[in-house]
Amino acid sequence: MPVSGLTKYSGDLQSLAPGRLILTSSGARPEWFDMRSRAESDTPVLLEIDLNPGADALDSVGSKVVGLIGVIPISRVVAIHFESEIGANEFLARKYENFDPAETRTSVSPQLFDNDLPSVDGLSGWLNSLSRPDRPSVEDVRASDGLAGALLMLLACPARSADELSVRAQILALLLSGPAEMSVDEIVSDALSIPEWLSDDERQDAVLLQAVVKTLSRMGPTSEVGARRVLAEMERAVHERIASDVIDRNLARVRSILNAETEIRPLTAAAGLRSAKALLLFLLRPSPIEVLSWASDMTGDPLAVSGASALCGLTCGAHPIPVTLRRKELATVVANVQAARLNRLSPHTVGDFTSGSPAQVGLESSRGRDGLVTSLYLGGAQVASVADPPDPNGT
């Protein structure tokens, strides 16, 4: 993504063209990586990309340099190139919470770090002349990260019932097909607002859900969630739309449990607004790993658990979700869909990455030794499965 969307960044060549990705056809000069100073601990890296974009380009001394407006998914990274064996070994020896180096080919390629390439001074005039793109903006990238987080957490959530998997399939399909011109909080709200997910009091539940999603989306991406602030902002958002004793009672119970004034009891599908229950579970266990543990601890309402998982991903974004919760084939689908969504906002031809349509979500049922097995699939890869015990009467 453009460096403007990064929280930690040391100025390199891309800082001369904010909002753009700098691609080159023949490697890079060492000074491109840090134009201020090269610390001894710095390891220059080049990513080899499988892409042929249509964008602003400069041909200089046999090297083509491209200033691309858009984002590139990790699925298009062919290899990671290092200047030296030491740099490659240091990279491979490290552990990254949300990235597994072993999944990408690495290569020691000193010939790609060539001082005969154009200098920064030789490129600065052209880079500075490039227009600054309005979109995709930092806000677009961050919002997209929240949507990717919600998808990844729903894909990681353990299955507890066939009914929940069926509802989750509908939600995933709606999240994956959300149009680029629609805000992420609207996409998530609409996906969860299907009657199959909401409680019997659909109208009240939908109003609270929209307030929950809008509040959390506005706060994210963040792993620091203040429960009091969340509840206060949601109550304001709800009261601007509707006066509801039902919503007030549900939020009062959430607050009472969070303040340890009331013990949390096992949830049931019949009692309470589902958006309030999902919010409660998320605020009690706000980290990605913790929130998923509700699947085994709170089995009475699996839809509330999957909703809490989606709220967690929306709030923290995809970045902090650990690699243990990311199956490569599923994470690749999410990355491709999100890149395609963001690139629809770009004036350049970046690439669709989704073959023109979102990955297909499907359910399959089969009868086995353990009973009727329901499996959820995304793009041909199994997401989760659950078995309903055989009927003791044999019917």
Torsion region of 380: left, alpha or beta (phi above 0 gives left; psi -120 to 50 gives alpha)? left
123 and 143 belong to one structural domain: no
Q: What is the pLDDT of residue 131?
A: 87
14 and 116 belong to one structural domain: yes
The SS3 call for residue 382 is: strand
Mean pLDDT per 10-residue interval, the chain, length 395 residues? 53 78 85 61 82 79 81 89 91 83 89 81 85 86 93 96 96 92 94 97 96 93 88 90 92 94 93 96 96 96 97 95 92 89 85 69 86 91 86 54
156 and 213 belong to one structural domain: yes
Domain-embedded: residue 56:
yes
Name the DSSP letter for residue 322: -
106 and 192 belong to one structural domain: no
Whether residue 301 contacts residue 138, with contact meaning beta carbons closer than 8 Å, is answered with: no
172 and 295 belong to one structural domain: yes
Q: What is the pLDDT of residue 9?
A: 52
Q: Tell me which of 290, 322, 354 is where a domain ends.
A: 322
For the segment 322-356, what is each residue's pLDDT rounded down to a tens digit?
999 999 999 999 998 888 888 888 888 887 677 65
188 and 293 belong to one structural domain: yes
Please give the tally of structural domains in the chain.
2
8 and 149 belong to one structural domain: no
Domain extent for 18: 3-129
d(CA 37, CA 33): 9
For 163, the token pair is 């009914």
Q: Is the CA virtual torsion 165, 249, 287, 70 positive or negative?
A: positive
Q: What is the pLDDT of residue 198?
A: 97
221 and 269 belong to one structural domain: yes
Q: What is the pLDDT of residue 15?
A: 79
107 and 154 belong to one structural domain: no
Domain-embedded: residue 372:
no
177 and 306 belong to one structural domain: yes
Q: What is the pLDDT of residue 65?
A: 86
Whether residue 113 contacts residue 28, with contact meaning beta carbons closer than 8 Å, is answered with: yes
316 and 177 belong to one structural domain: yes
Helices (H) and strands (E) in the chain, counts: 13, 9
Q: Tell me which of 288, 322, 356 is where a domain ends.
A: 322
Q: What is the pLDDT of residue 119?
A: 81
Q: What is the pLDDT of residue 288?
A: 96
101 and 150 belong to one structural domain: no
For the segment 194-225, what is each residue's pLDDT rounded down to a tens digit?
999 999 999 999 999 999 999 999 998 888 88
